[in-house]
Chain A
Amino acid sequence: MIKHDVLIVGAGLAGMRAALEVCKDLDVGLLTKVYPSRSHSGAAQGGIAASLGNSEDDSWEEHMFDTIKGGDYLSDQDAVEEYVKAAPKVIYELEHMGCTFSRTEDGKIAQRSFGGHSKPRACFSADRTGHAILHALHEQVLKNAKSIKIYSEWYMHQLIVEDGRCGGVVVSNIRTGEVEVIHAKAVVFATGGYGRVFQITTNAFAGTADGAIAAFRAGIPLEDSEFVQFHPSGLYRQGILFSEAARGEGGYLLNGKGERFMEQYAPSRMELAPRDIVARAEQSEIDAGRGVDGKDIIHLDLRHLGEARIMERLPQIRQLGIDFIGVDCVTDPLPIQPSAHYSMGGIPTDMFGQVVIDEKGTPMKGFFAAGECACVSVHGANRLGTNSLLEATVFGERTGRSALKYARNAEFSKVNESHEKARVLNQVEEIFQRDGSESYNDIRNEMKEVMMAKCGVFRDAEKLKSCIATIQDLKERYKKGKVTDKGQLFNTELYEIIELGNMLEMAEIISTAALARQESRGGHFRTDFPKRDDKDFLKHSLVSRNESGMELKYKPVVITRYQPKERTY
């Protein structure tokens, strides 16, 4: 059995930032199913928010208000306050670690405008900010190799919980196929999101809900799962991300008639309205037949920015367009469409990263979560661009500190190693024994299609019911899938099958929570309930599973400084 004081699952921004806190005093295992530098945090492009005020006066209060309004008043305001107050300090810490930032002429960190933010507060490293931070943190992790042991290409199967306390995880070494128990005083999940549930997504193949579902299966309800963000500028059909920074730098959105249609939807902020509003505007234009060439296409037009500006601020975007669709944004507009991007919901935690298991806030001892997999909730019903890198960094640090504090005073719990291992070995054996009458590829594609069509930008009761029925049917078919690789060595097919199982469960959770929320708020829009309903739905959803199926509970939203108001831009 492998032992660590603290075991962190996921080595993106949140996981590595947490590891750097814990390693100050205790020994850390950092486990990832890829390599740390391959984590999806690295794909974030546009920036990380903080009210540094380097190009215009700014304050944490304004950042707080923008975040809460952007989240359609579903954010827990006490957590948001801590979060925005911490922002400048964590940015400076990143800078001190060596993270590269684009600079102003006088040598400060440069800041640019972003959707939903009333001030230019996105700190950035050209258009690869996530990449710059990810590598800076990775460098620090390598520097602290004595106390941080990295497990690259290990897969986390399940959480070990006994007597209400988390005692470790069951994992396997992807390379050898060996199943192991990792015993830990505290476990931190930083496992990212689940955009891969949808057909068109900006997410990496790795974004498959592993962490959220491991927690769910251990009896922890998932919070606000219905709130999935659709990014307005994913590459047509492929979803590859074109940063909002393209609009932050002044890019236009055009419909098939060449009109800047945002004028109709958010006249004061235009292209820089929050993402939920822009994505809905795009989808409305497409649904009304005003897409480019009558297709599901909107144009992102950067031509007027000129080559010099594009090369300085958006070089990667230009290259992506050239490589993936043969379009040079200097001379032609880029074809885009709304693409599943970010999960506002996730594993419920308090503002210190401690996982809570019910509406009363009961903690699960020894279990922490941070980053996209967690729901603190600072983003409420819709996250603002550049707030996710900030969340991963701020809450990665805070959660690392909480786990450190907890593990310092805790003993290893009792774990029945052979029993825990057997659970996973049996599951793998069961997969290998399936009769093979179904194709996993078909099941995966059908799930992604139905989630996009019926649980996407626009939802209604009828669509959602049919979506849930389809997912349940796919779950049955999943039990009969065809396996071709039954080896131990680097069996990527096996992990894809396990991931698909996680995604099917997540799809059902998302659509169940979406059906129950009979209102429209942030990223969740119901055409049959197009208005926000604070009387009945100013609350967080909690989905869990009992003997008869999915169960829904709710918990109140913490409101401190800003009372809910109508949200217009």
Chain B
Amino acid sequence: MAKFRIKRYNPEKQAEPYYEEFDYDIPEGATLLDCLNHLKWNVDGTLTYRMSCRSAICGSCAMKGNGHALLACQKQAAHLLKDGSDTITIEPLGNMPVIKDLATDFQQFWDKVDQVKPYLQNKEKPPERERQQSPQQFRKIDDATTCIMCGACYSDCNVLEVDKNFLGPAALAKAQRFVGDSRDQATRDRIKELSKPGGMWDCTHCGECVERCPKPAEPFYRIKELMAVGLEEGVTNNVGARHALSFVKSVKHSGRLNESKIPIESMGYFNIKGLLDLVPVGLRMLLKMKIPPIIHKPIDDAKDVRRIFEEFGE
């Protein structure tokens, strides 16, 4: 017998959320959604969640199982019973307000998708037949287009937890779907927009969204592709791009990071306000004796590192 510990919330009845436990013997092959449906249809009809296709394509039933976002229809319930535990904890998606039980408010999610101008931009008059696109060009956007907008990545994004302005993984993956599309002509404008605060460079590379994505969309990899286009396009007049460039320069030069120089180069030598912002952090580090050595020494075989760079053409 498994315990389903479900986070309940119904502001019509009670202002605070609470957890309720349901016992259910998981039938063989039952998905988490099958189990929830059993509970809703036989035990408590007030239990509220979204669902529709039950085949991992509509994106309705994203929620948290044991603390991580997933699609209820795609997850075998028994797989959530790990390490001899008999309890599965079910909660609503994170980083969104809850409406009732497991149903969350997606408004901010969609607003951010809107912000990346999520449609093809091409000013030329289309040909009579299809526009040409090679299989190789199609492959560049193949993964991004598998996104089902379920919000699992958005829920578990660590940046969003501290910065509500971050576009979030799904919107950025959607942006890559157009930046990478050989038929789209707005690459530069898109990249400029995406380089602003809250955009692609605010991703901290934690990779959580890749872990949570139920499809091959894997937003972080799409974000990395966006960053690469940003550098290729020379849209580098921003902290994120400068940080990446300084990082590479430092490793290439000395085989390791010059931790004193990177923050300064990231801010930009002429960014007085940005540099002044660094001062308090620097002072605190000094007080705690955490300041990196002022004189930066290369590693012994730094020239081998440089050779690697040359071999791979930067």
Asked if A pairs with B, the answer is yes
Q: Is the CB of A37 within 8 A of B40?
A: no
A477 contacts partner chain B, Cβ-Cβ < 8 Å: no
- As a 0/1 sequence over residues 196 to 220 of chain B, the CB contacts with chain A under 8 angstroms (1 = contact) are 0000000000000000000010000
B128: interface (CB < 8 Å): yes
A37-B149 in contact given A139-B119, A440-B41 (Cβ < 8 Å): yes
| A110-147 vs B, Cβ < 8 Å mask (1 yes, 0 no) | 00000000000000011010011001000110110100
Whether B10 contacts A40 by the Cβ 8 Å rule is no
Q: Within the complex, which residue of B46, B58, B100 is in contact with A38, where a contact is CB–CB below 8 Å?
A: B58
Q: Which chain A residues border B99 with CB–CB below 8 Å?
A: 175, 489-490
Total A-B residue contacts, Cβ distance less than 8 Å: 157
Would you call B129 an interface residue if the criterion is a C-beta within 8 Å of the partner chain's C-beta atoms? yes
Chain B: minimal CB distance from A494 (Å): 9
Say whether, besides A103-B135, A143-B119, A205-B51, A38 and B59 are in contact (CB < 8 Å).
yes
Q: What's the tally of chain B residues with a CB closer than 8 Å to chain A? A: 58
Per-residue CB contact flags for chain B residues 127-148 toward chain A (1 = under 8 Å, else 0) read: 0111111110110011001101
| A105 to B135 Cα, complex, angstroms | 6
Min CB–CB distance A446 → chain B (angstroms): 13
Please give, as numbers and ranges, the residues of chain B lying within 8 Å of A143 by CB-CB distance: 119
- Does residue B57 face the partner (Cβ distance < 8 Å to A)? yes
B53 at interface (Cβ–Cβ under 8 A)? yes
Question: What are the residues of chain B within 8 A of A142 when measuring CB–CB?
Answer: 113-114, 118-119
Which residues in chain A, 493-531, are within 8 Å of chain B measured between CB atoms?
Answer: 493
Taking residues whose C-beta sits less than 8 angstroms from the other chain, chain A's interface range is 35 or more
Interface-lining segment among A91-99, A247-255, A538-546, A555-563:
A91-99
Assess whether B135 is in contact with A131, with CB atoms less than 8 Å apart: no
Name which residue of chain A comes closest to B183, CB basis. A98
Given known A37-B59, A128-B146, A441-B41, contact A492–B48 (CB-CB < 8 A): yes
Residues of B near A325 (CB, < 8 A) are 29
Residues in chain B near residue A554, CB distance under 8 A:
none
User: Is residue A204 within 8 Å, beta carbon to beta carbon, of the partner chain?
Assistant: yes
Kindly provide the distance from the CB of B201 to the nearest chain A CB, expressed in whole angstroms: 25
Given A98-B181, A143-B119, A493-B40, answer yes or no on A132-B145 (Cβ-Cβ < 8 Å). yes
Contacts of A135 in B (CB 8 A): 145
Complex partner residue of B131 from A95, A132, A492, CB under 8 angstroms: A95
Known: A143-B119, A489-B10, A489-B100. A92 touches B46 (CB 8 A): no
Residue A315 at the B interface, CB < 8 A? yes
Query: Given the complex of chains A and B, what is the CA–CA distance between A102 and B135 in angstroms?
Result: 7
Interface string of A231-261 (1 = CB under 8 A from B): 0000000101100000000000000000000
A218 at the interface (CB under 8 A from B): no
Please encode chain A, from 209 to 240, with 1 for each CB lying within 8 Å of some chain B CB and 0 for all others: 00000000000000000000000000000101
Q: How many angstroms from the CA of A105 to the CA of B131 in the assembled complex?
A: 14
Query: Residue A413 at the B interface, CB < 8 A?
Result: no
> A interface vs B, CB < 8 Å?
34-35, 37-40, 42-43, 52, 91-92, 95-98, 100-109, 125-126, 128, 131-132, 135, 139-140, 142-143, 145, 175, 204-206, 238, 240-241, 315-316, 319-320, 323-326, 439-441, 482-485, 487-493
Can you name 9 A-B residue pairings with CB atoms under 8 Å?
A39-B58, A43-B55, A105-B134, A107-B134, A315-B216, A323-B56, A440-B41, A484-B46, A492-B40
B residues in contact (CB < 8 Å) with A? 10-13, 29, 31, 40-42, 44-46, 48-60, 74, 76, 99-100, 103, 106, 113-114, 118-120, 126, 128-135, 137-138, 141-142, 145-146, 148-149, 178, 181, 183-184, 216
